[in-house]
Chain A
């Protein structure tokens, strides 16, 4: 019996969960008005929106008023970076942004953009294990620091960043600065209310949690000044104008509710499957290299490997033709793979990095999927690699 498509790319997107689809269908049924109106249809929409906001706020351990709904993780990251830098500039403070070398392109490019527009920005190194060098951060913090951007966990390697230490360092040495954490990748797996407690800005994306694509949220502490990127009707307390995607917000809320409820059990099960896959591949593929050293905390679903002598573009095509979906890293606008700056920051040699593969398991992953992957991957890799 065929196992169907073996989908091991949950970090890219996690398929819509049935519970989320049901919640969204219920929201869609009947007349759903614009939450900014006053009649019964609008009231209904507003109620659903605010219930969703309460849910997301609870998930993050924040006040509902601190939650800004938007179109996804990228918009949330852009709002965090441009919004805080813009507010500082508006207040006449020419500040500096400190950011890690392994941030997601949404953060990386936003920082590059504010830098090009004249803001100061300094990239902070990570260690070979892929976690931020907190010592380097401490040294870089000054009274001019406006924003410190460190993700909760890295999307490529799954490495959990030392956010607690980051927050502590910032409070001690640059208390005026805001801490922004891109929690998009970490959200399904870590208790953000605890892990991201000290951060001033937290970004979420629904579709990484099995929610719909097209909706996300940015939590913003009251003490942080933020200039809106999108202006208009003044929704979301002037922080993000535009008619809210009520059905999407309901989907995000359902997704975080399910994630929180299942976190312990699903996390344990997925980690077990991931470890089984890891063991199986290590024993079946000569010279296989697990990118993140043992002992480093990694999200339960992540398995990042390097296959020396393999060309990841070719491996991906071949695996795809066998029905196995994995990732080779970040793509550019045209859809072609780019060399990984995350691996470069970790000191991984280009030749080795060119053979990198990312497997990310999720709630829907089963034993059968892992078994099939173990059947297919070693054979493909052996056929395609050119040197050991």
Chain B
């Protein structure tokens, strides 16, 4: 079956339901009308039987006759189409109306016929027509007789068939009109959708800021348009971020490339000297190391960005993670004679749920920064506390700290501080961006708190109520 448009499908459904309803309605009307008319015929027959009673008489030959002398015009009796038969109680026919043309009306007498009520019933005549007849017992001149009076149902049936034909002709016409109207209404109702589709068709990477028009934010189409606009919003943001990021990354990759190029060109331009060549090559190698580090950082960012909360999560103890990272960095800490002070509020076996490998990188970056900026013989304090279902770990060093305006910007990709004290040995400028992205994706927050001396970096991660089994 070929796919029909939504508009056509709506119309077809609507027409089908309407057709069903109309047919049902026609059937009901027809049945009701038939019932009403039949009752009317019965009522008329009862009236007529009473009238006919008064017109009956025995003529001088003793035959039962119906008085005909009340007609104002002689041909008027031709208008009378009543069927009448009178029988005595033995079943002998006393009178038959000429309209019967000798046919019997109702056949043999039934017991108690016409005694109580009028026994309205439908009988089949010999000529195949049906008639609705009533019976009535009447006594005249000492003779008790049963009067049967009826009308042929043929005219009624004919009229009912005409009525039915009228109904059956009217229904398709009504359906056609309704279908056309339905098609128009559905078309008009769906028009905003078409406009939306047209609009959406026109949105490309270059005009992602375009939005769909919302006429009525409360109706279904408005809701859809809103959802669509939200999607566009997010895409727009992501796209912008990516564009900016690509530009930044290209810039960051160019810097080591420039240095490689210059060093090579200078080395080749000089008189050949093995020592200088060696020096140049080593410098080039160092730069490729930097390039490599930047690329790894970018890939890691992409990986963290693609990770969804809930993916690859394991239960682990934060304290253990911090201990592990401190272990890796211990040689730097010892070398600078930094004292690490740990204040732990919660138990070692209390856990969080996150991607451990990623979070380890985040903690490593933050702690490495703290160690890097710590002066010799200083104190690095790590405090962990438990706050409303969250684990909060603060790393505080006694280094140069962060300039007040840069507390947020340090998390920007490729950010480098303008303060000379903070630049010593800075890396690719991705460490904190990676840390932030990872912590965000773990459902947590990371920020720098303003402090008197040094820098205080706080990581907050949702706490997991379960504890690891103690071994």
State yes or no: do A and B come from one complex.
no
**B interface vs A, CB < 8 Å?**
none
**A interface vs B, CB < 8 Å?**
none
